[in-house]
Each structure stands twice: as structure tokens, then as C-alpha cells.
Amino acid sequence: MPTEDQVLQALRQVIDPDLHRDIVTLGFVKDVAICEGAVKITLELTTPACPVKDRLKEEAEQAIRSIPGVDQVNVKMDAQVRPTLAQMGSMMIPGVRNVVPIGSGKGGVGKSTVSANIAVALAQTGARVGLMDADVYGPSIPTIMGITDAPKPGEKGIIPIEAYGVKVISMGFFLKPDQAVVWRGPMLTKMIDQFLGGVEWGEIDYLIVDLPPGTGDIHLSLCQRIPLSGAAIVSTPQDVALQVAQKAVIMFNQLKTPILGLIENMSYFVCPHCGQRENIFDTGGARRAAGRMNLPFLGEIPLATRLRETSDSGRPIVVSDPKSPAAVAFQQIARALAAQVSIRNAEETAAEPVKITF
Ligand code: ADP
């Protein structure tokens, strides 16, 4: 009969390609059960949106099968999203593990569309997700997420509205359609405080924050008030857009917020009639810019009429047309983003003594 030591020894050969350590050292292996030649384990990953989930499962199965005497293998997959170290002590939003702002150098590049679809795509993997619309000047998240109700007060704060498995809060819930926000910095800071500490977020793995375009008071307030896991930046591919995106990168660097990566939106257009690809705003610019700045590139989203239509009608494309190229791009970007959060958190804990529990 194989022993637990043999099983763990075999699993030490399985290396997480993102975290560059073996799955035993990373503490992923749980509940090892051996009965005659049957071995059962649970692999607890750091995110349900892990892009290499299937590969790790397969490699773990193979590793166990190679032990003499093993004739049955059962690898169960599970996930527990770990918090950013600094967030562990945060009193403001105690149940929120990772706060991930999405920014852009300028408006109109599709930042809100990207934020909403990433949030829903993460929730579709089984993660607990919140979406905070901090774009006070043009709060479009309620429209994209199809929310028309106003949130109600709960015992400890405002109860966010749930749509497509995501808990949402937006300034748009509190404004009349013809009303605009004309506030100075201190009021904007108050709003950020209210959206963080004054909302009953509950347990959240990823709180996606749709920032206003540019680099202003809200960015400053958010970065200074709570520990952020890291920001993602959306840009269209042309040079002018990338130049302003670069300013957002510089701002986050100055505020000591890590950058999780760049996302290229409106990357190319495929003609629905003849199938020809047209690079309207050029293509690959964000990928090249990410390379130059030594930042991860998280993926590219095509320019698609259907994407605009689904956003306008309140049914994000990852829900209404999940197999379309744009939806598949969002699912892949959501997984890449979750992987970057896991990498950051693992790098943080690597500085701490590694704790292995069985
Ligand atoms: P931002 O938040 O950067 O101001 P939005 O997400 O509000 O941008 O997008 C601006 C407009 O562009 C919206 O009408 C949206 O539906 C549309 N849009 C965004 N991304 C795409 C895309 N990839 N293809 C087609 N339309 C898009």
C-alpha cells in the first residue's frame, strides 16, 4: 500500500508555472486519504479562476499514478482565495480579500465595460466578487449590469445590489439621470470611505473598482486608504491612448500600488460580412507597451458591435453570449488577472516563513 510520504514526495514534482514552486510547498495539497491502492487528495488552489487548473490536476493525477501500488486516483479541485497581506489587518473592509482597481489614462476606452465583464467572469468561476463603480463622473456600471433598483440600508451599512452573481455599488444608484457630480476632493474622499466602510460587502475574494479615467482625487483616496492588491490598466492600442495610459502607470507607481497588467480593448475588428480583420486603432500597442514597461500583458478584446449592444441592454457579453470572441477574451483576462493577484500574494508571503499544513 502506498504511504502518505510517497504521495507527497510524488506531488513535489508538480510545479505551479505561475508561482514557480511545487504544490506541496505552496500548501495546495489537502486531505490525503489512502485506502489499499486508491489515493484521494484535494488540491486547494489560490483562486477558482486559476488559468492552469486543468494542467495541475492532470499532472497531480499522473504523479500519483506513477507510485507503485496505486491503481485508483481521485484529485478533487478546490480554491481558497488568499488575501493581500496588508489587507488581513484592514478594519475598513474586513471581509474583502483583494481590492483590484481598473484604471485608464483617458475616458471612452471601455474601462467600465471591461471592469463589469471581468467581475462577472470571475464570479462565473465560483469566486465571490464585488464591483464598486467609483467613476462618479460617468457611472455606467448600473446600465451595463442592468440594475434599476436602488440599494437599501442594512444593519451595518448599505446592502449592495447583486447582479449576475456580483455585488454592485455605484454612485449612479443615488443620482437622478439628469444629475451630475460636481464635488471637490474632500467630498470624493468621503464617497470612497462610504463605498468601502459603509457598504455591507460581506466575504469578497475580489473587489473590482471601476476608477474614473485619468489620475485624480479618487485614485489618491483609494490608494491611500486601503491596501490594494494591484491595479489593471485598460488602453486602446493607438499611440496617443498608450501615452496617457503610461501616465496612469506612473501615478500607481508613485502611489506604491503594484500594476497587475495592461489590457488592450478595441484591439481589432473582424468584419461580420467578409470575415476580414481590420486593425482600426492599430493592434498590439498595449502588449508592446507592457513589454517596454516590464509589466504583464493580460489580454486583448476585439471591437465588437455585440459587445456595445450587450452593455447598453444590461446583459454583459460574458452572460449573454459567453462563446463569442469578446466573451472568451474577458474570461481569459479574468483568469490572467486572478493569477497575477495570486502571484503578488505569494511573493508577499514568500518573504514570510512558508507554513505548510496537513
Ligand atoms: P470608459 O469606462 O472607458 O469611459 P465604456 O466602458 O463606458 O468606457 O465604453 C465606452 C463605449 O464603448 C460604450 O458604449 C461601450 O459599450 C463601448 N465599447 C467598449 N468596449 C467596446 C468594444 N470592445 N467593442 C465595441 N464597443 C465597445
CA angle 25/73/41 to nearest 5° reads 40
Q: What is the pTM of this model?
A: 0.91
The pLDDT of residue 187 = 84
Whole-number Å distance, alpha carbon 93 to ligand 1 midpoint, is 30
Whole-number Å distance, alpha carbon 242 to ligand 1 midpoint, is 16
Residues 299 and 231 grouped into a single domain: yes
285 within domain boundaries: yes
Q: 309: which residues sit within 8 A by CB, 6+ positions away? A: none
Q: Could you give the CA distance from residue 263 to residue 286 in angstroms, rounded to a whole number?
A: 7
CATH label of the domain that carries residue 28? 3.30.300.130
Residue nearest to atom 19 of ligand 1 (CA): 110
Q: Could you give the CA distance from residue 94 to residue 59 in angstroms, rounded to a whole number?
A: 36
Q: Is 26 exposed, middle or buried (0-12, 13-18, 19+ CB in 10 A)?
A: buried
Whole-number Å distance, alpha carbon 114 to ligand 1 midpoint, is 8
Residues 193 and 265 grouped into a single domain: yes
The pLDDT of residue 350 = 59
Whole-number Å distance, alpha carbon 115 to ligand 1 midpoint, is 11
Residues 273 and 323 grouped into a single domain: yes
Terminal Cα-to-Cα distance of the chain (whole angstroms): 20
CATH label of the domain that carries residue 178? 3.40.50.300
The pLDDT of residue 346 = 85
Region at 301 (left for phi over 0; alpha for psi -120 to 50; beta for the rest): beta
Phi, psi of 153 (to 5 degrees): -75, 140
49 within domain boundaries: yes
Q: How many CB atoms lie within 10 A of CB 59?
A: 18
Residue nearest to atom 23 of ligand 1 (CA): 303
| Residues of the chain where predicted confidence (pLDDT) is lower than 50 | 352-358
Residue finishing a domain among 63, 79, 95:
79
Whole-number Å distance, alpha carbon 307 to ligand 1 midpoint, is 8
Q: Is 289 exposed, middle or buried (0-12, 13-18, 19+ CB in 10 A)?
A: buried
CA angle 247/252/256 to nearest 5° reads 145
Among 125, 284, 123, which Cα is nearest to 115's?
123
Residues 73 and 89 grouped into a single domain: no
Report whether residue 107 contacts ligand 1, using a CB cutoff of 6 Å.
yes
Report whether residue 311 contacts ligand 1, using a CB cutoff of 6 Å.
yes
Residues 192 and 149 grouped into a single domain: yes
Q: Is 159 exposed, middle or buried (0-12, 13-18, 19+ CB in 10 A)?
A: middle
Index of the ligand 1 atom closest to the CA of residue 113: 6
Query: Are residues 268 and 280 in contact, defined by beta-carbon separation less than 8 angstroms?
Result: yes
pLDDT, one tens digit per residue, over 243-281 is 888 888 999 998 889 999 999 999 888 887 887 888 887
The pLDDT of residue 357 = 39
Q: Could you give the CA distance from residue 211 to residue 135 in angstroms, rounded to a whole number?
A: 5
Q: How far is CA 98 from CA 89, 195, 271, 324, in A?
A: 12, 15, 39, 29
Q: Please count the structural domains in the chain.
A: 2
38: containing domain: 4-79
179 within domain boundaries: yes
Phi, psi of 199 (to 5 degrees): -120, 135
